[in-house]
């Protein structure tokens, strides 16, 4: 018999303090007990965006790691009356490890002894009052200012008694000060004139095309677009360097959770002039989400990127290319552009550089948008892909 058979975790609610998040759960394992399970804030935020009222949620004890997306995921079962559905969600490695530990424990007492588990009856999670926090900071500030003022007054008084700097020092004539300032300004002007100018080195221009449609599958003839999904990753800078070396454009669609993990790769892509778009926060199928959840997801992932690049994000690619009327309406509301594709290398499936290159050589043509992912196989295939496309006199462009 499996050691986790008969072990059920019902998610009742999500509770928070200022810096911590807890899952309020009902654990059924030989007996029934309510617990607070401390988890990371990212997983808590994601679950909070999924759960709704009038449903019952049972957390699965299974989780997995996707080698392609480099993401951990789990799922829960949502039940309303007699209808149930499975909901997948992205989780942190921390959540994955804790879930694995809970799954493999063979008695309830050992679960209760876990450092991140506590009884809901004995531990009360309360929001620390920001008002009390700021009031204390204010009193500390007042006390510090009073102390500093007392020291300064005592020092100045002592200095005056001894006829030092604060009291009877002979004043400098205003005329002397003016002349000194004039001489200083003249010296600075002479230095500016004599200072050798640095040569201006022009950066190579990356070819680009501006999209005008709300939804785009292809681009004008004479050009081709290489697009890279599921980053940023440890492969991002390698892809960027290869594109730069060959003066080729590229467009990157980043997952919000990966942006948090690899912010420097986002900076590197942006500083080198490549286009960056959102690929959602957690790679969920948008056709399963409400309008509000789609909107929040797009805005949240775009904001993460903007916080790094200081530039508005206008491009979006839905995970799996799955979209509905809600998605299109959101694009129009915020003046976003949804970028899909008409050539899919399926590099995530074969993970073989030769197969990727073979597909591009057989299927790439003028005006196509090619879908790739950030992976070792894509990095290996990229130089020959670029060489092939340029040999056909196709301009490899970034999308804007």
d(CA 339, CA 324): 14
At 163, the pLDDT band (50, 70, 90 cuts) reads: very low
Region 123-139 average pLDDT: 43
d(CA 301, CA 336): 13
CB neighbour class for 134 (10 Å; exposed up to 12, middle 13-18, buried from 19): exposed
Share of the chain above pLDDT 70, in %: 77
pLDDT in tens, 110-127: 888 898 998 865 444 443
| Distant-in-sequence, close-in-space partners of 249: CB < 8 Å, separation ≥ 6 | 206, 207, 208, 225, 226, 243, 274, 275, 396, 397, 398, 399
Residues in the chain, total: 400
pLDDT in tens, 93-111: 899 989 988 988 888 888 8
Region 186-209 average pLDDT: 60
d(CA 69, CA 64): 12
- Is residue 110 within 8 Å of residue 33, measured between CB atoms? no
- Is residue 226 within 8 Å of residue 251, measured between CB atoms? yes
At 14, the pLDDT band (50, 70, 90 cuts) reads: very high
d(CA 222, CA 28): 63
At 269, the pLDDT band (50, 70, 90 cuts) reads: very high
Domain ranges of the chain: 8-119, 208-399
Query: What's the order of all strands across the beta sheet hosting 21-29?
Result: 83-91, 71-80, 56-66, 8-16, 21-29, 31-39, 117-119
Q: Reply yes or no: is the peptide bond before residue 373 cis, omega within 30 of 0.
A: no
- Is residue 250 within 8 Å of residue 274, measured between CB atoms? yes
State the DSSP string of 323-368. --HHHHHHHHHHT-EEE--SEE--HHHH--HHHHHHHHHHH--TT-
Q: Which long-range contacts (CB under 8 A, 24 or more apart) does 72-76 make?
A: 72/96, 74/99, 76/11
Write down the pLDDT at residue 224. 97
- When comparing pLDDT for 76 and 142, which is higher? 76
- When comparing pLDDT for 201 and 91, which is higher? 91
Region 311-325 average pLDDT: 96
CB atoms within 10 A of CB 20: 14
At 314, the pLDDT band (50, 70, 90 cuts) reads: very high
Region 80-86 average pLDDT: 80
Write down the pLDDT at residue 7. 85
State the DSSP string of 133-177. HHHHHHHHHHHHHHHHHHHHHHHHHHHHHTT-TTTSPPPPPHHHH
Domain 208-399 architecture: Alpha-Beta Barrel (3.20)
Write down the pLDDT at residue 249. 97
Whether pLDDT at 54 is above 50: yes
At 360, the pLDDT band (50, 70, 90 cuts) reads: very high
Whether pLDDT at 281 is above 80: yes
């Amino acid at each position: 018999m499996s050691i986790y058979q008969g072990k059920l975790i019902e998610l009742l609610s999500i509770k928070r303090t200022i810096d911590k998040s807890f899952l309020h759960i009902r654990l059924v394992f030989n007996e029934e007990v309510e617990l607070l399970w401390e988890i990371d804030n990212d997983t808590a935020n994601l679950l909070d965006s999924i759960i709704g009222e009038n449903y019952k949620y049972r957390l699965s004890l299974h989780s997995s790691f996707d080698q392609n997306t480099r993401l951990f995921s789990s799922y829960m079962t949502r039940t309303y009356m007699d209808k149930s559905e499975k909901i997948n969600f992205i989780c942190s490695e921390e959540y994955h490890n804790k879930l694995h530990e809970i799954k493999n424990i063979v008695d309830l007492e050992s679960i209760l002894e876990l450092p991140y588990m506590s009884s809901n009856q004995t531990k009360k999670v309360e929001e620390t009052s920001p008002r009390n926090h700021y009031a204390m900071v204010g009193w500390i500030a007042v006390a510090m200012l009073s102390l500093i003022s007392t020291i300064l007054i005592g020092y100045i008084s002592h200095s005056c008694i001894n006829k030092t700097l604060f009291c009877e020092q002979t004043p400098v004539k205003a005329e002397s000060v003016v002349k000194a300032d004039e001489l200083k300004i003249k010296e600075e002007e002479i230095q500016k004139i004599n200072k050798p100018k640095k040569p201006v080195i022009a950066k190579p221009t990356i070819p680009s095309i501006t999209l005008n449609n709300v939804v785009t599958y292809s681009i004008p003839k004479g050009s081709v677009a290489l697009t890279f999904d599921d980053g940023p990753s440890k492969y991002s800078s390698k892809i960027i360097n290869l594109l730069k070396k060959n003066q080729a454009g590229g467009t990157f669609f980043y997952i919000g959770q990966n942006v948090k993990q690899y912010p420097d790769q986002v900076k590197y892509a942006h500083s080198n002039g490549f286009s960056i778009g959102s690929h959602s926060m957690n790679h969920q199928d948008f056709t399963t989400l409400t309008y509000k959840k789609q909107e929040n997801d797009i805005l949240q992932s775009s904001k993460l990127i903007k916080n790094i690049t200081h530039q508005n994000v206008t491009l979006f690619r839905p995970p799996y290319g799955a979209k509905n009327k809600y998605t299109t309406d959101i694009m129009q509301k915020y003046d976003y552009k949804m970028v899909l594709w008409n050539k899919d290398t399926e590099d995530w499936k074969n993970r073989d550089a030769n197969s990727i290159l073979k597909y591009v050589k057989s299927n790439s043509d003028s005006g196509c948008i090619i879908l790739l992912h950030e992976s070792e196989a894509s990095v290996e295939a990229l130089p020959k892909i670029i060489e092939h496309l340029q040999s056909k006199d196709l301009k490899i462009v970034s999308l804007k």
